[in-house]
Structure 1
């Protein structure tokens, strides 16, 4: 039985943490893993659909490049080649979209002067001019937009969300 699979009884949390944090990966493999983690570390996009598309394209490309690097390391051994390739591809394809910022966290604007009413589920502001069945207008007198209500009603028999079962999602005190 290996050290990892043996019971951890009568050990302090510091001893267990020290074992988990102990370096067990050789240098070249650790470099490759660090490069793969850097490739997958793509910040979330803003709410604009173009930003979301750019985010998905960038993430897909970087993970594809990480797969090439991992396959190359497996086929030809752990050398600096796969790591250098992946780091060059990351540098060649930087983040070009607007990053997501939580509302009111921007240092330039301390908070909205007049808060707009937003959907209770997706948090997007209501647009009274968008009266489509799946638009951004408020659905009747509910706290949700038409899009969220349309998505909720499109769910299956096992579907549960804040719209169809609000009691389940109410905060408890």
Structure 2
């Protein structure tokens, strides 16, 4: 009877441990979504220029790579979580700084509209990943792989906006990468691997 009790306690502990790690991962992905929403709002209200949004996307790319590396083994350690939070805090400060630096973008320009659309797609993809983590359809390891894809898309957006203008060809290239990432999210959420 003692062995059965110990086994049940071990199994229950494993579920609590997995749930705690999933909650940590969901929190980090939620923060990604929030920061992307702030960038999009800045573009829409003109408090961010396309060039500034591009620099912020490069910062977001770094955070996504850090998350991907942390989730590579399926676990998020306290040190990794602290590093991710520190990086996200730095991006948050950069967003605040760029929104209040006096530079103004034209939210109605074609370039800004393209960047707004790309950032909106990031928000959507981050939300899909977050929902997959919360529902248990995505493991931490799968989430890490998807975060690497998000980092790639953010990097493409940053590179396109580096000169302050996102052209139609650049956006087409970004959209192709985002479509590929969208398929990866769907496939990972609908495979038979669960948390």
Structure (1/2) with the larger helix percentage: 2
Q: Which structure ranks higher in relative contact order (CA pairs < 8 Å, sequence separation ≥ 6)?
A: 2
Rg larger for: 1
Q: Normalising by structure 1, what TM-score?
A: 0.36
